Chain A
Amino acid sequence: MALNPMHQFEVYKIGPEINLGGVNLSFTNATLFMLISAILISSLLFFGTKKKLLIPSKLQLITEMSYTFVAKMINETAGSSARSFFPFIFTLFMFVLFCNMVGMLPYSFTVTSHIIVTFVLAAVVFIGVTVIGFIKHGIKYLELFVPKGVPLVLLPLIIIIEIISYLSRPVSLSVRLFANMMAGHTMMKVFGGFVISLGLLGGWLPLSFSVALTGLEILVAFLQAYVFAILTCIYLNDALNLHH
């Protein structure tokens, strides 16, 4: 069982089973690690901004850096009109980042390696952006599906293709995060298994691979959170500024 690389993705419940109207709401290890990430983020931001020093402490520096990082990202990709969405994008970025990073610790559980988690996040973004687009532009938002300068004969085909391309957004957003996290963690576990099965004699090579993979995985963990947030910004930009 220890050698099964997929065993780490198993969701099991902690404590009693809670059933509310036929929906299983039990507290699971996934819930636990989401809670841990949320608490970590809250405490980082709380303690980082508690003492507002002119010369920032390390904690304050991290907090301020994360703020400017996200603020800059929004400004560059979505323009100043998206400023009011800063809290949402910041929360999204920090949550994905911390879930990924907490998952990098040994014996922990990676919440974002489950497609249902990433798909819900992506669906919230997708539905939110669509609603914002319709609120901002009304029925004119549908012009997004009609590119300019297309011959009338091709228009029906193009509109269908554009709609498929629009609907593929949440899928690509969620599959990317989930697949990267799951593939990376499986690979690390497989190499870890090689170390044990090859023993003292031949285990050094996979061990060194494992170390390198850990570095790569930390990079991917950050990168995926970044890509998730930046794509949210891009979609938001499409909804706010129809013609670009």
Chain B
Amino acid sequence: MKDLKEIATRLKIAKNNVQNLKEKNQGTNAASLGKALKISTELVASVFVGTIIGFLLDSWFDTKPLLTICFFFMGVAAGMLNVFKSAKKMNKKLQKKE
């Protein structure tokens, strides 16, 4: 039983240390890198998807370059919307922490 008590105190100390560390470096570098990678692909993927949809609709309706161009720009808008949305989500999370 003595062993268990010793471990309990050691656990307490370790937990305290972890807590201190967490408070020290909120939002570590790794997490920020993850966010950056996330946002950059979101911007590109929407443009890609928009253009593909435009291209498919074009070959469907036989209106060759028109819809591709329209949907390309809409894809750009959707990409910005995506980035805006995830930035907003990150903001909310930060505010919640504080």
Contact = CB atoms under 8 A, between A and B. Distances in A.
Interface string B62-98: 0000000001001101110110010001000000000
Interface in B25-78: 30, 33-34, 37-38, 41-42, 44-46, 48-50, 53, 71, 74-75, 77-78
Contacts of A219: 30, 33
Contacts of B49: 164, 167-168, 171
Contacts of B14: none
Contact of A226 (B34, B42, B45, B82): B34
A168 B46 contact: yes
A129 to B, nearest CB: 16
Contact of B53 (A164, A180, A222): A164
For the complex, would chain A's binding face be called helix, strand, loop or mixed by DSSP majority? helix
Contacts of B42: 168, 172
A227 B53 contact: no
A172 B37 contact: no
Contacts of B44: 172, 175
Interface string A149-175: 000000001001110110111011001
B46 A176 contact: no
B7 interface: yes
Interface in A33-58: 54-55
Interface in A199-236: 219, 222-224, 226-227, 231, 234
A168 B78 contact: yes
For the complex, would chain B's binding face be called helix, strand, loop or mixed by DSSP majority? helix
Interface residues of A, number: 25
B50 A164 contact: yes
A180 B40 CA distance: 12
A98 B41 CA distance: 23
A45 to B, nearest CB: 24
Contacts of B82: 165, 168, 172
B38 A231 contact: yes
A117 interface: no
A179 interface: yes
Interface of B: 4, 7, 30, 33-34, 37-38, 41-42, 44-46, 48-50, 53, 71, 74-75, 77-79, 81-82, 85, 89
Interface of A: 54-55, 157, 160-162, 164-165, 167-169, 171-172, 175-176, 179-180, 219, 222-224, 226-227, 231, 234
